[in-house]
Each structure stands twice: as structure tokens, then as C-alpha cells.
Amino acid sequence: MENVEDDELQMEGGNRILSSETADALKDMMLAVVEGGTGTRAQIDGVKVCGKTGTAEKVNKDRTGYDEGRQITSFIGFAPYEDPEIAIIVVVDEPQGEKNAIWGGTVAAPVFRDIMEFSLKKLKVCQ
């Protein structure tokens, strides 16, 4: 495994926590998010991308509720669908913009797309 700077990364062994059937089902659901759900802004021409959007309100300072207008948005995904090689998460803390336009799919997914597209080319995963 390599990182973007071409340095070798060492992977430790691990244990399977999902059956292959469950993993395949999750992969298909994450593909559907990008192809026609809340993550369409993560699409890359010629590459099947899988992902999940996220949006959460931030807890107020006295921890009695949430602060309106203070969110964290995210997009986590991987590519290519057929043989995943790169996984990326983008988290945006308190994004600015129109109140009804601050979601993981509108804020974090485009950033994910740009980073993933660069990474796929840099690592020569997809041309």
C-alpha cells in the first residue's frame, strides 16, 4: 500500500468483522448513494465511487441541546467499486453557506471527489 507521497505504508493483519455477503451489500448501498442518492457530487467520470454522506448538529456549550446553524458535515467513501484501493473521509466543521444547503452531500462530497480524483491519477489506479 502506498500513500500519496509514494512512501510505503505497512498494514497490520486483522480479523474479518463482516461476512463477505454483508460487506458486498454495504458496498452496493454505498454505490447507490453516489449514483443516485445524497452523494451524487462525489461522482467521477469513468470510476464507480462508493460513499456515505453525514450531517450532524453540534451540541451547545452547556450541553443542553444543539446550536442552530452549527453543524459538522462529512463524506466517507472509497474507489474503485470493483476493487477498492483508496478510502478517504472529508469532515467539514461548521461549514458556511445558506442554511438549507449545508449537508455532507453538498459541502464535503465535492471536496472528496477532488481529492479522490487526484489520488486515483497520482497512484495510477485509474487513468
Q: What is the pLDDT of residue 107?
A: 95
Range(s) of the domain holding residue 79:
20-122
Distance, in Å, from the CA atom of 117 to the CA atom of 109, rounded to the nearest integer, reads 12
In a domain, 105, yes or no: yes
CATH number of the domain to which 64 belongs: 3.40.710.10
Which are the contacts of 100, defined by CB distance < 8 A and separation ≥ 6?
none
C-alpha cell at 100: 438549507
Q: What is the pLDDT of residue 3?
A: 53
What are the average pLDDT values for consecutive 10-residue runs of the chain, which has 127 residues? 61 88 97 98 98 95 89 97 96 87 93 97 85
Distance, in Å, from the CA atom of 8 to the CA atom of 121, rounded to the nearest integer, reads 17
Q: What is the pLDDT of residue 5?
A: 63
Q: What is the pLDDT of residue 11?
A: 74
Q: How many domains does the chain have?
A: 1
In a domain, 7, yes or no: no
Q: What is the pLDDT of residue 1?
A: 47
